[in-house]
Structure 1
Amino acid sequence: MKIKEVANRLNTTPRTIRFYEEKGLIQPDKGENDYRSYSDDHLWRLQTILALREVGLSTQQIKNTLHNEEEVERYLNAQRSALYEEWLEIKDMIGTIDQMLNKKTGEELVKEDIFALADQLKNVKEKRKGWQDQWDFNSQAREYDESLKMNGYRFNVHEHYGEALAKAIEFVQPAEGETGVDIGIGTGNLGSQCIPHGAHVIGVDQSDEMLNVCKEKHPQIDVRHGHFLALPVMDDEADFITTSYALHHVTEEEKELALMEMNRILRSKGRVVIVDLMFADQHDRERVIGDFKEAGNREAIFAIEDEYYANRSNLEAWFKKIGYTVHTYVFNDILHMVYAEKH
């Protein structure tokens, strides 16, 4: 086939095809008079290039995927995550404009209100884009499950781990045909327990290696690159949300945005269960940390200061404020569960 015929069949232009040739993405055969000749294999390769470009992959990313087909899923996952972040940013901007237009005194827009709303939007944008993995979970992925066995350590953050995951499933009660989202899924130890109940599980994590291990262990899970502040899930898509040992990786200021994201994707009558390292309230935080200091347990103090353990009372208050019914469960001084039902 000649270039014009290929362009017509693929609904593109000869100029576009030549551009991909110049970038080294495709090399047609050359015939008499140096005319390009395209085989069915070339056609398939071009169709792949056009499809990947259509969803926003760069020419370099496409080139990498053509050399290594295993890269396709990774790039598409990253692109989906980026598009969700962009979509959420657009939604936030539209919402802010709506609020600005509704903030009127007579027929005049109040400048102070506009400035405040603009600052609020800027703050949300910075949170979504600024979150970073400070703990290098990619490097921990392959050994993560083994690292859960910490019996004998002076500060065992995974004490009651199995019991906590089982209790989360007992409360959330995944059912046949439901869609669940496990945030910070890691290697899939909690989310996978929903599969025998017939639920479809979307596993969200910012670590590509964690997602790779999760997919190897549990091929049924729909793994997606993302994080608490920008979930790659549509509005009202989830029947239930689970998360374990993950929320303490976002700051106290970011936690409210994380809870707002959970509320965004959760359907009416949906359920949320959070199993995490936290304290009952500020008084309990001071008591527990004081006991560790008195015992000279530096490992415990370092671990707590290195992360962002919540006060459970703050999570309860937030859910109750927007109409959820909330139940809690305590496993030990630093491991709690918050279960909330949406009305």
Structure 2
Amino acid sequence: MYIKEVAKKLETSTRTIRYYEEKGLITPAKEENNQYRFFNDEDLIRLSTILSLREVGLPVEAIHSLLKDKDMRVDDYLNVQRGVLYEQWLELKDMIQTLDLMTERAGKGDSVTNDLFGLAKQLKTLKAMRKNWQDKWNFDSQAHDYDQSIKMHGYKFNVHQDYETALNKVVDTIQLNSGDLFLDIGIGTGNLGSRFIESGAKVIGVDQSEEMLAVCKEKHPEIETRKGHFLALPVMNMQVDAIVSSYALHHLTDDEKLLALEEMDRVLKRHGEICIADLMFLNEEHRQHIMQSFREEGNVEAIGAIEDEYYADRSQLVDWLEKHDYTVETHQFNSILSMIYARKHVENER
């Protein structure tokens, strides 16, 4: 298909298409005899994705980063578009909620000026958290060796001690029925989410790493993989029956963890369940005690590993869940690994 035909089909201009080519976003083939651009089906899908992302306000540089792989498949393009649209939608939701609060308080007189400033600052912080999370650990590079690395033993500090025990405990705790919608956040290569396939539930795996999702899909074709992250889940409100996460939440700061719980709460149905198995301390006192023990042992490997990430304060997570009407149970596997199980209340149950 030639450029004029493409422009007509996608309701854009030939000038716009040439601009995206100049920016390196598309590279259509050119006929040898006349150098006319010729677009195949993959080119059309890629160009359609670019136009869609521009329509929702993404700058060209950001799109270039998202579509850096020129060999992306159709489902990859759709995953990118969906993830971006969800982030845009959540940002709008946050803005509307803030405007509602501002409107309510503005009606009370000039004395609420500081309140309005505080709400605006809070919205700015929230937008930054959703947008600015970065994978400083480069999980794409770990994807193909991940399953082997978690089976290694003999380290002076083994973060995967009791790994299988923890995953089995999560499986035994969550009760699913056939047809339920099940969400695994930070699914990685699918080691936890895949264990729920036999229940007859529809399993959705969310991860920010495209390579992790690719490995997961190769291992477990039954799992629907979606690119996304804790702070902007690519799922509509009140859609899922159960949420699990293992060895992923500790990549968020404390403030980000609380926003992640808000996102889980948003997508969870009434009576829904959340189960998190992760690296965490019981509370700040417990953290200080464990760290002091490692210092006395001279275990710099353990200290370095913990300080490189954001092991949770379990008491803070439990407190948030209980304040938001969840019944909470906990289980401790070892000094740095715990499980939190929370079941959502319904108003008329109380």
Do both proteins adopt the same fold according to a TM-score greater than 0.5, normalized to the shorter chain?
yes
Give, as a single letter, the amino acid of the residue that structure 2 aligns with 1:117.
L
CA distance in 1, matches of 2:245, 2:177: 17
Shift of the alpha carbon at 1:320?
A: 0.2
Aligned to 1:243: 245
What is the CA–CA distance in structure 1 between the aligned matches of 2:229 and 2:4, rounded to whole Å? 45
For the pair 1:252 / 2:254, whether they are aligned, the reply is yes
Whether the aligned pair in 1 keeps the contact of 2:3 and 2:39 (CA below 8 Å) is no
- Asked if 2 retains the 8 angstrom alpha-carbon contact of 1:100 and 1:109, the reply is no
Higher Rg of the two aligned structures: 1
> Structure 1, residues 169-205: CA drift from partner, whole Å, max 9, x if none?
1111222111111111111100111111111111111
- Distance in 1, matches of 2:219 and 2:252, equals 26
Tell me if structure 2 keeps the 8 A contact 1:185–1:205. Answer: yes
TM-score by length of 1: 0.85
CA–CA separation in structure 2 for the residues paired with 1:55 and 1:70: 16
**2:119 matched to 1:113?**
no
Q: State the match for 1:332 in structure 2.
A: 334
Letter in 2 for 1:308: Y
2: CA distance, partners of 1:5 / 1:119: 48
Q: What is aligned with 2:156?
A: 154
Indicate if the aligned counterparts of 1:6 and 1:43 stay in contact, CA closer than 8 A.
no
Is there any run of 5+ residues in structure 1 with no aligned partner, and where? none
1:130 lines up with 2:132 in the alignment: yes
What residue identity is the alignment partner of 1:142? H
Residue equivalent to 1:320: 322
Structure-1 separation of matches of 2:2 and 2:336: 68
Other-structure match for 2:348: none
- C-alpha change, 1:11 and 1:80, in structure 2 (3 Å) is closer
Alignment of 1:308 onto 2:310: yes
Q: Tell me, in whole angstroms, the C-alpha distance in 2 between the residues paired with 1:309 and 1:11.
A: 48
Cα distance in 1, alignment partners of residues 84 and 10 from structure 2: 27
CA pair 2-242 structure 1, distance change in 2 beyond 3 A? closer
Distance between the aligned counterparts of 1:204 and 1:235, measured in 2? 16
Q: What is the aligned partner in structure 1 of residue 52 from structure 2?
A: 55
1:295 aligned partner: 297
Q: For 2:204, what is the secondary structure of its paired residue?
A: strand
Task: Provide, for residues 39-86 of structure 1, a one-character-per-residue CA deviation record: whole Å limited to 9, x for no partner.
Answer: xx9796897577545533799979x99x96644333332222122111
Alpha-carbon distance in 2 for matches of 1:2, 1:161: 54
Structure 2 CA distance for aligned equivalents of residues 209 and 156 of structure 1: 24
2:286 matched residue in structure 1: 284
Structure 2: runs of 5+ lacking an equivalent: 346-350
Is the CA contact 2:279–2:312 (under 8 Å) kept in the aligned structure 1?
A: yes
1:92 CA drift (Å): 0.3
Report the Cα distance in structure 2 between the residues aligned to 1:54 and 1:157, rounded to whole angstroms: 44
- The alignment status of 1:202 with 2:208, answered yes or no, reads no
Given residue 77 of structure 1, which amino acid in structure 2 is its aligned partner? N
**Contact residue 26 and residue 45 of structure 1 kept, 8 A:** no
Q: Is the 8 A contact 2:274 2:342 kept in 1?
A: yes
Counterpart residue identity of residue 74, structure 1: D
Equivalent residue, structure 2, for 1:83: 85
Can you list the C-alpha shifts for 1:264-284, whole angstroms capped at 9, x where unaligned?
Answer: 111111000000001111221
The question of whether the paired residues in 1 share the 8 Å contact of 2:270 and 2:344 is answered with yes
Deviation at 1:253, TM superposition (A): 2.0
CA distance in structure 1 between the aligned counterparts of 2:2 and 2:257, rounded to whole angstroms: 57
Output the CA distance in 2 between the equivalents of 1:158 and 1:46: 43
- Residue 288 of structure 2 aligns with an amino acid whose one-letter code is E
Matching of residue 192 in structure 1 with residue 189 in structure 2: no
Q: 1:245 to 1:105 in 2, by over 3 A?
A: same
Which is further off, 42-51 or 234-243? 42-51
Q: Contact 1:128/1:230 (CA < 8 Å) preserved in 2? A: yes
- 2: CA distance, partners of 1:103 / 1:276: 40
One-letter amino acid of the structure 2 residue matched with residue 56 of structure 1 = L
Residues of 1 paired with 2:46 and 2:293: CA distance?
60
Cα distance in 2 for partners of 1:264, 1:111 equals 30
Query: How far, CA to CA, are the matches of 2:231 and 2:49 in structure 1?
Result: 26
| One-letter amino acid matched to 2:234 | P
Contact 2:239 2:267 in 1 (8 A): yes
1:328 positional shift: 0.5
- 1:154-180 residue CA offsets vs partner (Å, 9 max, x unmatched): 111111111110110111122211111
CA distance in 1, matches of 2:6, 2:308: 58
Larger CA deviation: 326-335 vs 46-55: 46-55
Further displaced range: 53-62 or 228-237: 53-62
CA distance in 1, matches of 2:45, 2:197: 33
Q: Give the share of equivalent positions with the same residue, in percent.
A: 50
SS of 1:103's equivalent in the other structure is: helix
TM-score (norm 2): 0.84
